[in-house]
Structure 1
């Protein structure tokens, strides 16, 4: 579980995009909490109903037509479900740029039918997983808030979100969390087809259940007519000349022991499943989500993907593919070549130095391309960040970091260890070892919190893993090959 944080998100539904805030699960006074920017309101019965019911309290999520409208409400609004959140005083002073969601936190509910109609790839799986996850969280929060006002004699199983519960409980929906691997081969294709059938059957009902709990008036501060169409909103974002500057400058805002996630994305300890493509930033890296997505079309087609690795010595880019399900990197004799920038990596690829990817059938296309090697978020492995996260847990942040924080960095480590033949790394990740046990738990129960008492052993093991991985990394420059 992450430290208390608040994340700006955008929901696209009925051809309009609404902006709001989500507080991912946090622990307070021994209890787990999660909330959206919303409140409980009295919903009147349909006046055209022959037998109208009396007004009833309903939990709603407040939506706004722009980050600016959202920021204006945050500066003045006090009667809502996030008013008592630990970081709300920080959020109340943020500008529109800080409350603009990144690409990972934009959820297109209108586009779900199009996603399931396509053949599965990593982007479709990630996008659908993210949408179903946020829909489930919306239902959970709105239903829980509504339960507080229900009569005691009502059926406890009547949640008001039966279709949501039905859809997210399907095995095929649960398999989305496993990524594209769950939908490969004949069994995977059949699973994807069953998921498409479930969406066809249930999605309209899901949207109807949610609609009652989405307040498009921004708690009475805006009108539905204030919302541009989804296409107009997307065009306005694409044409905004400030987007690139904002992407380059956004940082997490920290207030003592709590965090606000601004446009920069997830907190260091949230480690939420990736969904979509984030802005690349850091030493030598600067690219918009649109640029990354465009580049990925080429790299996916050739079957060789750009990868970023971050270790204490620095961050670098390389290339990786799989040959008979075994990872193979841009390198030689178990040494992985890392380059400081996409341009440096591209110049090396255009050269004639021998390496372990030369014999890959699609390598000539890589050598000739002018498409920059920009890694997608799921191909970026920050081994330093997880060291810091584990250290925080060891210092007493137990219960605030989920096991799933281990999954992505360990995925990169396993590939590197396989290619470089690092036996001690594989020993540390064996099921009987402390780190291996934590990894097993992460795969079985990703949201389970890491305990403070297990963290010291994990810190020690991870430091040894990072040290061993570092022996296989060679920081290069294109000029080295000249």
Structure 2
């Protein structure tokens, strides 16, 4: 329960269920205060939230109008007078709850009811109520929660609270009944207020459902990989299908520059993800070992908690590209080619050698071809022409430059 709150509450007393506003303990100018909606002589009760709202519309001055949060409360929606399920305080039902076992529901319900009864007694100076709480400190133990009554002496203490309530509760309720007044509200005003409440409740429910749908859509759209240990470490598994085989390695980016699992330009590759994970645990002589998050991944792998997860953006397939290039530009999947070329360029960048640049200097038309296929500027109007087998042969040579970097 937050400090400075004003709460709509449903209270069960001798005459039935009623609605009012409760301001639990708050601090102001160094003093502690608590209050209910009242008219200086009584706490006012209403037969429905609609009657409560109608009264607030017609009565600007009351015991809560000086509360530090009143303006904020009054400016909120018309459904501000509707209590939630946990704001039902069944004072009449307290003895029956104490006659049952101390379950979570029973303990929390009794605690909430006693809390409001104590506050109502103190605010209205209801003698029998204030005397009861002052004389039976044991009832305050319900605030400790259900776990308190799970201890060895818990049931006996629960019974002691029950006996204290059973003996005194009738007088407590009678003293509270004397301090409250059922307010009379114009029926037409209450009916109009009820329509406004219904509209506000419907709007709030629609907003809740819309927010839930948005959260659901965002959850469905979220990439599961983002929650993986790899994503957390910023080091990604890479799968490469090339020249009839599939290999696995790892890559990260430091200052936008690629760093592969490897050393001296050799990319360490593995025939399966499991083999790579086992190798990680026993080897640290490679470039990724210098990355701050590497050790955390190794610890996870050593504990059997790390699984090989390859994001689709880190899965590269060279399969069929040589054949498709030989068939002509329209046969080539340019997305597949762009991803494959990205991997080749990353490998050359990490290795720090001139093999790729040297190849293009020796074969300028191959660079023009790739630029044309990938939509890069600077192709000088170049358009591929037959025989396309020359381009296929050039691409195969680029693949071989890459695979020569793979460990054997």
Tell me whether the two structures share a fold, i.e. TM-score over 0.5: no
Comparing both structures, which one devotes a greater share of its residues to helix? 2
Name which one, 1 or 2, has greater alpha-carbon Rg. 2
TM-score, reference length from structure 2: 0.45
